[in-house]
Structure 1
Amino acid sequence: MKFSLDCTREVLFLLEEKLTISPDLEICSLNLEKIASGLSSYGIGEIANTLIVLGEAGFLVAETISSEDSIEDIIVSRITYNGYQFIECIRPESIWKKLKNAGIKAGALTINAATQIASSLLISLLSAQLSL
């Protein structure tokens, strides 16, 4: 299965918008079905894979419920500090376009590389704004 950074970005933005903590401080988790219903551009298998990888990368706190040969559900309870750092680095559309174009030219782009490059681009963008 191929990993899509476009799907990753959309999943993270959706989770940022939809995950909440109630006034009673209850964590309001989202399951795979609810997440997939907000991302019609991607199949449930691709979304499930993205959630699993983001959990393994330390960007999400997520629990995969599986049987012997299938995923029953994935429950996401929150985005981690590293997840928020990545979201902020890839939020500006100008950075995202540069990052994607670089990945296309190079023929590959990992989450680690995307995080480091996006962070450098964001620092450059912020530094340019401070010079004004």
Structure 2
Amino acid sequence: MSSIVYAAEKKEIAVSVDCPENLIISHDSKWTSEALFNLLDNAVKYTPSGGKISVSVVQWEMYVEVKVTDTGKGISESNQAAIFRRFYREEEVNDQQGVGIGLYLAREIVTRQGGYIKVVSELGQGSEFSIMLPVR
């Protein structure tokens, strides 16, 4: 995660984290960290200098939600379903490094743990990705 922090600092992106203590969650920490890394990496890539990224964790009755919100470029509604496909990249982001596998991997990691991932985004307004992992 240190590379994410460094990249955010370099772009002067404010990052906030809100995570309660004593969460009850059953997950593979190595793989969940990888999925979260992919979301944060994208948030830093597509958020302009001076933007904001927030990470919040909420425990619901059946799921724990890890939400990554940014003030980045956003994703058009027509592209939102496609972003989780392997090797998919929007034409507008070809100037950014990447091969289009991060969100695909994040979804696979979360799904194999009995959870799901969702996105709410609006072009020019940023994105909100939620990882939902079951409480067991």
For the superposition of Structure 1 and Structure 2, which TM-score range results when normalised by the shorter chain?
under 0.3
- Of Structure 1 and Structure 2, the greater helix share is in 1
Determine which structure has greater relative contact order: mean sequence separation of CA pairs < 8 Å that are 6+ residues apart, divided by chain length.
2
TM-score of the two chains, using structure 1 as the length reference: 0.27
- Of Structure 1 and Structure 2, the greater strand share is in 2
Q: From the CA coordinates, give the structure whose radius of gyration is larger.
A: 1
TM-score of the two chains, using structure 2 as the length reference: 0.26
